[in-house]
Structure 1
Amino acid sequence: MPKEFSRIDRIGDQIQRELAQMIQRDIKDPRLGMVTINAVKVSRDMGYADIYVSLLTTEDLTEDSPQVQDSLAVLRKASGFLRGQLGRAMKLRMVPHLRFHFDSLPGKSRRIDSLIDEAVGRKPAVDRSDDTESEG
């Protein structure tokens, strides 16, 4: 019977929690927007950790947006510092190299949601008015 979470998954979860705090607390660059870490995928040999981030804004952003490019540049420049801080915080013998990527999934999901609303409307999937009349 397999384990629920492998060691790599647990390390990825801990890296996600620690990085979220470090980015908020330690990086003071004004070019860095409100960054959310959506996922961390650690390679099997723990050589690399791919960190997927999104930015909290009211507009839909793509990988090519200047705001996204600036934030990714700041994070990539600070990756050595963040890696050192992770090593001290997590007490790992080998800390993976951090690779930051923009996660466009939240924008795509908002777009799909708006398309569904446009096609179907905002009515509920199940009409509850029939259920209340039959109960009484």
Structure 2
Amino acid sequence: MSYRPERLAETIKKEFSAMLHHEIKDPRLGFVTITRVGVSSDLRTAKIHVSIYGSAEEQNATMEALSRAHGYIRSELGKRIRMRHTPDISFKLDTSVVQSIRVMELLKEINEGKEYTVND
């Protein structure tokens, strides 16, 4: 069993996080959190899962900005991570944080004895 994809995922997460905070100056990328990075076993593709604070419109604008910066981000990662082939990256909106907040609110309502509804 190889740990290389896991190590590469952690490296990509660290380097991309540094890029977001120090180098990429797009105001739409202000409230982005990298929740996890998944790398394929052949190291050719990487999915970067991001959580974005804001409304649905702000989230869409941020995802669009990330999509547009795809080439720049990939080339910068290639410079920072010495590999023969830089993985092709894609971004996925991670809604697990929002879902967990909703679950916590429902549990709080149950503990307080209030009626609750599930909005799905």
- Shorter-chain TM-score bucket reads 0.7 to 0.9
**Deviating runs (4+, > 3 A) in structure 1?**
none
Measured on the aligned residues, the alpha-carbon RMSD in Å equals 1.5
1:30 aligned residue: 27
1:108 aligned residue: 99
Unaligned runs of 5+ in 1: 122-136
SS of the equivalent of 1:31 reads helix
2:77 aligned residue: 86
The answer (yes or no) to whether the contact 2:20–2:29 under 8 Å persists in 1 is: no
> TM-score under structure 1 normalisation?
0.76
2:57 aligned residue: 66
1:16-56 superposed Cα distances (whole Å, 9 cap, x missing partner): 01001101222112222311000000111222111100123
13, 27, 30: which is aligned to 1:16? 13
The answer (yes or no) to whether the contact 1:33–1:67 under 8 Å persists in 2 is: no
Q: For residues 27 and 16 of structure 1, what CA distance do their matches in structure 2 show?
A: 15
The answer (yes or no) to whether the contact 2:44–2:88 under 8 Å persists in 1 is: yes
Unaligned runs of 5+ in 2: 113-120
Aligned residues: 112
Q: For residues 105 and 65 of structure 2, what CA distance do their matches in structure 1 show?
A: 32
The answer (yes or no) to whether the contact 1:49–1:96 under 8 Å persists in 2 is: yes
Q: Percent identity?
A: 33
1:132 aligned residue: none
